[in-house]
Structure 1
Amino acid sequence: MGIVLIFFLVVNAYLVEGFDAQRSTKNFTVEYVVFTRSNAIEGHTVSLSNERGLQELFKQQNPTRFISHGWRGDQTSESCNLIRQKYLTRGDYNIFVIDWGISAQNLNYVQVALDSLEAGKQVASFLDRLNEEYDLDFNNTYMIGYSLGAHVVGLAAKHATRGKVNTIFGLDPAGPLFTAADPSIRLTAKDALYVETIHTNAGFNGFSKPIGIASFFPNGGTHQPGCSDFFGSCSHQKSYQYFADSLDVNYKFFAVQCSELIFKVSQKCKSTGNVARMGGEPSNFGRGVEGIYYLTIK
């Protein structure tokens, strides 16, 4: 996703005029592409109104992972493919790729941002349905969202009524229109038992604030090595690439905890002495990981 700075300012000014779910088009249906070890290459598409084949694929005893693309994406997006493949290389998971591309591929970012609120609510209903009919274990469920998708999964977990999702990974959560938004319409640290955000283009395409229980800022969180594009899409995309890499069994990103005030002012880390792993499987839930973390990735 590439958004010029001027557009960033325009849409945030638009936010002041009013940004709420009532302005969503609400005329699209979210679909879910299911992958398991038995169908790791070709997914099976289901929806809230068409669950045919889900009973044969879904295994209640296996961990469940939801993955959402961002603006201009759909089920075929690199963010979804990379993460899905890494999980199924590790083990047998119920993987649900959230496909709201019928809205997300709209060139009008403002409308897509509004529609993300509706997408999140639809995913919440699907979560509740899975729990009611297929015994989905919320405590064994993670939700991973890139860019606007981070807000989609946050809203889904926020609005689910039958349980609390264990972990959310917000991969460079979208900033434009959301930076000053009310917490009720975006990802927050309270949406799951553990919420981790990875910031790679903070203040541009990505959210500038640490909005997870733990928030990781690789290389300072704004610009990533090897990226030279003016619009920041390369640095933005590094968030899901880093996360996918973190799922490799022998690949770990270790970060040091920083003083929040020092980090915000100087973009440098004054270490507290605490160290935590960014991303990975399983998540940091229950390990006491919280606050701001800095790491260098070359």
Structure 2
Amino acid sequence: MKVFFVLAALLAAGNALPIEERVNGENGWFIPKLDGSFEWMEKQDAEELLANGAQMEGRISTNAVNFYLYTRSNPTDGKEIKAKASSVDASHFNKDRGTRFIIHGWTGRYTDDMNTRTTKAWLSKGDYNVIVVDWARARSVDYASSVLAVPGAGGKVGEMIKYLHEHHGLSYDSLEVVGHSLGAHVAGYAGKTVGDQQVHTIVGLDPALPLFSYDKPNKRLSTDDAHYVESIQTNGGKLGFLKPIGKGAFYPNGGKKQPGCGLDATGSCSHGRSVLYYAEAVTEDNFGTIKCGDYEAAVSKECGSTYSSVRMGAVTNAYMVDGDYYVPVNSAAPFGKIE
């Protein structure tokens, strides 16, 4: 990883665009740092860094990905499973249940609130196979290093999905993969690995923007990665994408900042709200939406006041949703609003 730090430092030393000309995600990115601050990187420099890093990725680094199964029989004590018959057979995995994969973002781990909250939400609705993914490279202190690990981590998730389908009867039709931030792109690569839009649903919770390009869908979560892709965009233009990622793109409070988050200089509160909203949507199905003509209307909250029949996060969205939706929200739980 030392090579990445050195390369990044060299690239960052070049002539930077004036502050007023910097557009996050367009001509460069504001790269998040562990202390909550950001460092600007020009697009050309960033793409060179990613290209050089990708060449070295397979040779010099590990990319450990582990899987922990939760069911109503073990709702709080995850059972690690591996792609081996003895491992899966000794677990509570049941092919007759729906399956949910949950994937954390940068700095996360499988025991984090994002995972436990979403696991609890799904198990409150039924006895699902909830498989929480732990990808260790998410905990790289250098954000770019975690980005470089996304394709490999997603590939391993996709291989695990295929293994469970081929050898243990996992149904693609009742499969949903949920990823937050960088985890949303890991979910995208998992879908690409399974291929042919066989994964039924992917839900991207504020898919990460830094070092990802809207015009390169093959290198991020995209609409083609599953039969249906839904994005819930809560810190658009900063930590998350503002342009629509999914076939169904949902914009709570316009998608940039969330009520109740205060100044939120780092964007972390608004970014994290996507998880809180989604877990509440699973349990309460209470996020009414207003259909918009395009995402710009959703962002500017100019979609009228007539609620649609669509609820954000609903399982049925895979069969009826296509387009961009404004989502009114409260500043505290319960966050959802319905007509």
TM over 0.5: yes
The 1:22/1:272 distance shift into structure 2, 3 A limit, reads farther
The answer as to 2:282 corresponding to 1:268 is: no
The answer as to 2:55 corresponding to 1:22 is: yes
The amino acid of 1:145's aligned partner reads G
The amino acid of 2:50's aligned partner reads F
1:10 maps to 41
The 1:283/1:19 distance shift into structure 2, 3 A limit, reads farther
Equivalences for residues 107-122 of structure 1 within 5 A = 107-122=141-156
What do the CA deviations read for 1:225-283 (whole angstroms, capped 9, x no partner)? 111321000000000110000011x441011111216427x622234964411013x24
CA contact (8 A) 2:244 2:295 kept: no
1:290 to 322, 325, 333: 322
Say which SS state the counterpart of residue 234 (structure 1) adopts.
Answer: helix
The answer as to 2:236 corresponding to 1:236 is: no
CA contact (8 A) 1:37 1:93 kept: yes
More moved, 184-193 vs 19-28 = 19-28
For 2:223 and 2:329, how far apart are their aligned partners in 1? Answer: 25
Equivalences for residues 139-158 of structure 1 within 5 A = 139-158=173-192
Deviation of residue 14 (structure 1)?
Answer: 3.5
Q: Choose between structure 1 and 2 for higher RCO, CA contacts under 8 A separated by at least 6 residues.
A: 1
The 1:262/1:114 distance shift into structure 2, 3 A limit, reads closer
For 2:281 and 2:79, how far apart are their aligned partners in 1? Answer: 26
The 1:200/1:125 distance shift into structure 2, 3 A limit, reads same
The amino acid of 1:36's aligned partner reads T
The 1:231/1:158 distance shift into structure 2, 3 A limit, reads same
For 1:163 and 1:180, how far apart are their aligned partners in 2? Answer: 20
CA contact (8 A) 1:2 1:233 kept: no
CA contact (8 A) 1:32 1:45 kept: yes
1:213 to 247, 250, 273: 247
The amino acid of 1:77's aligned partner reads D
The amino acid of 1:285's aligned partner reads A
1:96 to 100, 117, 131: 131
Deviation of residue 30 (structure 1)?
Answer: 0.6
1:193 to 199, 202, 227: 227
Deviation of residue 39 (structure 1)?
Answer: 0.8
Q: Which has the larger radius of gyration?
A: 2
Deviation of residue 166 (structure 1)?
Answer: 0.6
For 2:196 and 2:254, how far apart are their aligned partners in 1? Answer: 38
For 1:262 and 1:203, how far apart are their aligned partners in 2? Answer: 12
The 1:36/1:261 distance shift into structure 2, 3 A limit, reads closer
1:203 to 204, 213, 237: 237
RMSD across aligned positions (CA): 2.2
Deviation of residue 5 (structure 1)?
Answer: 7.5
CA contact (8 A) 2:288 2:327 kept: yes
What do the CA deviations read for 1:137-171 (whole angstroms, capped 9, x no partner)? 11110000000000001110111158701101000
The 1:163/1:192 distance shift into structure 2, 3 A limit, reads closer
The answer as to 2:67 corresponding to 1:36 is: no
2:106 maps to 71
Say which SS state the counterpart of residue 213 (structure 2) adopts.
Answer: coil
- For this pair of structures, how many residues does the alignment match? 291
1:47 to 82, 91, 95: 82
Gaps of 5+ in 1: none
TM-score (norm 2): 0.80
For 1:261 and 1:67, how far apart are their aligned partners in 2? Answer: 26
For 1:11 and 1:81, how far apart are their aligned partners in 2? Answer: 37
More moved, 157-166 vs 20-29 = 20-29
The answer as to 2:116 corresponding to 1:81 is: yes
Identity across matched positions, percent: 36
Say which SS state the counterpart of residue 57 (structure 1) adopts.
Answer: coil
